[in-house]
């Protein structure tokens, strides 16, 4: 009897163990399926979020496309509106182009004339260097005008000086004439009244009334020393214009008003 009970107990224990093991295996399968389901749900939720984001982006893109479409439509309307104006302007542009063609023809003629003129200015003058050449001419002209103004100023000053000293010169001329008459064959003598260094001439306060002639050789003295020679070029009754012989001037010497002028040798009169 005890043996039977042991057998029954063993069988019961084995059955319990079998059912327990079997139930444990099923539980693991269920648990694994549950975990897989949770992972799948998470993946689905992530994909759903991605799809939702894509939908939002697509909606934004559709809105932007709609706005862009409106802008394009507005631009097309503006272009259509401007088209009529453009068509109206075409006729005016064609007339303008014709006028420009005529102007270009005139410009080509002017260019040919300019080329002809430049050919006379030298081989080194081109359209590109013409501006520099014109500037050079302008500077040269300005320098010449400045020189002319200086000469005019000097001439005016000389004329004023001559006018101011006319009475004194006449008195000196009379005195020189009287002295020349008394001296007979003595040398003629006078004074420089004005000098133009740039043009190389001077004015002597004595003329034909004092015996000066274009052939009279003259020496210029200062402080009793000869400093150069001059050649009469124009002899008037009371004054003589004489050219300065620059080769006879000492280095650094410049003739000036007040210098004495005498004949190079005694007069034969």
Which burial class, exposed, middle or buried, applies to 57 when counting CB atoms under 10 A from its CB (0-12, 13-18, 19+)?
exposed
Per-residue buried b or exposed e for 123-137, using 16+ beta carbons within 10 Å of the residue's own CB: eebeeeeeeeeeeee
**Backbone phi and psi for residue 195, each to the nearest 5 degrees, phi listed first:** -135, 135
Report pTM.
0.33
Cα–Cα distance measured from residue 249 to residue 34, given in angstroms and rounded to the nearest whole number: 131
- The residue ranges of every structural domain in the chain are 1-121, 155-263
Q: Specify the higher pLDDT residue, 31 or 252.
A: 252
- Convert the pLDDT of each residue in 213-232 to its tens digit: 888 889 999 998 999 999 99
- Convert the pLDDT of each residue in 115-150 to its tens digit: 666 666 566 666 666 677 677 777 878 888 888 888
Extract the tokens encoding 11.
């069988």
Closest CA to 207 of 166, 245, 156: 166
- Convert the pLDDT of each residue in 81-112 to its tens digit: 777 776 777 677 677 778 877 877 877 777 77
CATH of 155-263, picked from 2.40.10.340, 2.40.50.100, 1.20.1250.20, 3.20.20.70, is 2.40.10.340
Distance from the first to the final alpha carbon of the chain: 202
Model confidence at 265, pLDDT cuts 50, 70, 90, reads low
CA torsion sign for 238, 241, 245, 251 is positive
**Mean pLDDT value of segment 6-19:** 67
Q: Cα Rg for the chain, rounded, in angstroms?
A: 61
Residue owning tokens 């005529």: 102
């Amino acid at each position: 009897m005890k043996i039977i009970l042991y057998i029954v107990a063993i069988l019961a224990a084995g059955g319990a163990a079998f059912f327990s093991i079997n139930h444990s295996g099923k539980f693991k399968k269920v648990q694994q399926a549950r975990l897989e389901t949770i992972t799948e749900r998470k993946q689905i939720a992530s994909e759903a979020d991605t799809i939702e984001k894509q939908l939002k982006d697509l909606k934004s893109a559709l809105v932007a496309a709609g706005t862009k479409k409106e802008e394009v439509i507005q631009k097309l309307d503006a272009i259509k509106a401007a088209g009529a104006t453009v068509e109206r302007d075409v006729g005016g542009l064609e007339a303008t182009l014709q006028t420009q063609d005529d102007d270009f023809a005139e410009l080509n003629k002017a260019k040919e004339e300019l080329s002809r003129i430049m050919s006379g200015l030298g081989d080194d003058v081109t359209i590109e260097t013409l501006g520099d050449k014109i500037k050079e001419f302008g500077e040269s002209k300005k320098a010449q005008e400045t020189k002319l103004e200086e000469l005019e100023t000097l001439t005016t000053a000389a004329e004023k000086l001559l006018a101011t000293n006319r009475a004194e010169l006449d008195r000196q001329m009379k005195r020189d004439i009287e002295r020349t008459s008394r001296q007979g064959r003595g040398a003629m003598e006078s004074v420089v009244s004005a000098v133009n260094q740039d043009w190389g001439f001077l004015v002597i306060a004595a003329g034909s009334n004092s015996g000066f002639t274009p052939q009279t050789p003259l020496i210029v003295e200062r402080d009793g020393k000869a400093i150069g020679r001059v050649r009469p070029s124009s002899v008037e009754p009371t004054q003589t214009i004489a050219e300065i012989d620059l080769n006879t001037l000492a280095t650094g010497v410049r003739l000036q008003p007040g210098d004495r002028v005498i004949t190079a040798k005694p007069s034969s009169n």
